[in-house]
């Protein structure tokens, strides 16, 4: 009887040691798409000493990480983005208490998996503000809104094709 109990315990031990799963994360990650954010120049734009391209890249990375399963890579991504912040204007309309800030950005998207999906596009983002507002503070807030709008437009442009 003792041998029978020892044999059952031995079989149970062997069963437990041989029935576990092997997790291999590289098998899951090989299907993940990658995105590379290249150079974005903002040479023509001076917004109170702030690097608009740096702020944009940071917000875009955070947005992608939060809303997609994609990974960022430094080189060789499935999608490569780069671009230029071309223009930044403050426009005052006659007989109006509003001013408008308009930013124009040209973005290049290179799809390394499917070159037929490559594109370049101009994005115009316009935000209004009151002339009576405190402009330096309002300028900062409007710039944040412009960047958020650009991130949203770019996300929609890229991921509508996937």
Predicted confidence pLDDT, tens digits, the chain (162 residues): 676 777 677 666 666 566 554 433 433 345 678 999 999 998 877 776 678 889 999 999 999 999 988 998 999 999 999 999 998 888 887 877 788 888 899 999 999 999 999 999 999 998 887 766 555 555 667 778 889 999 999 999 988 765
Instruction: Dump strand ranges (E) for the chain.
Output: 34-41, 71-72, 79-92, 98-111, 119-130
Position 111 scores a pLDDT of: 93
Position 118 scores a pLDDT of: 94
Place of tokens 């040209």: 106
Beta bridge partners of 38: none
Beta bridge partners of 101: 90, 127
118 and 39 Cβ atoms separated by less than 8 Å? no
Position 132 scores a pLDDT of: 62
Place of tokens 């509003």: 98
Q: How far apart are the first and last CA of the chain?
A: 65
Q: Which of 159, 69, 71, 79 is nearest to 118 (CA)?
A: 79
Fold of 2-159: Double Stranded RNA Binding Domain (3.30.160)
Position 23 scores a pLDDT of: 36
Enter the tokens of residue 153: 């437009």
């Amino acid at each position: 009887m003792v041998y029978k109990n020892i044999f059952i315990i031995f079989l149970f031990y062997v069963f437990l040691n041989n029935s576990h799963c092997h997790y291999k994360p590289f098998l899951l990650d090989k299907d993940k798409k990658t995105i590379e954010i290249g150079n974005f120049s903002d040479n023509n734009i001076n917004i109170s000493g702030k690097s608009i391209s740096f702020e944009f890249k940071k917000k875009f990375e955070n947005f992608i990480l939060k809303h997609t399963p994609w990974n960022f890579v430094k080189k060789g991504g499935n999608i490569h983005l780069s671009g230029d912040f071309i223009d930044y204007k403050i426009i005052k309309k006659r007989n109006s208490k509003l001013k408008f800030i308009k930013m124009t950005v040209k973005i290049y998207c290179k799809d390394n998996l499917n070159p037929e999906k490559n594109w370049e596009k101009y994005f115009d983002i316009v935000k209004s503000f009151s002339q009576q507002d405190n402009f330096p503070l309002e300028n900062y807030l409007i710039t944040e809104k412009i960047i958020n709008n650009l991130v949203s437009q770019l996300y929609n442009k890229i991921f509508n094709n996937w």
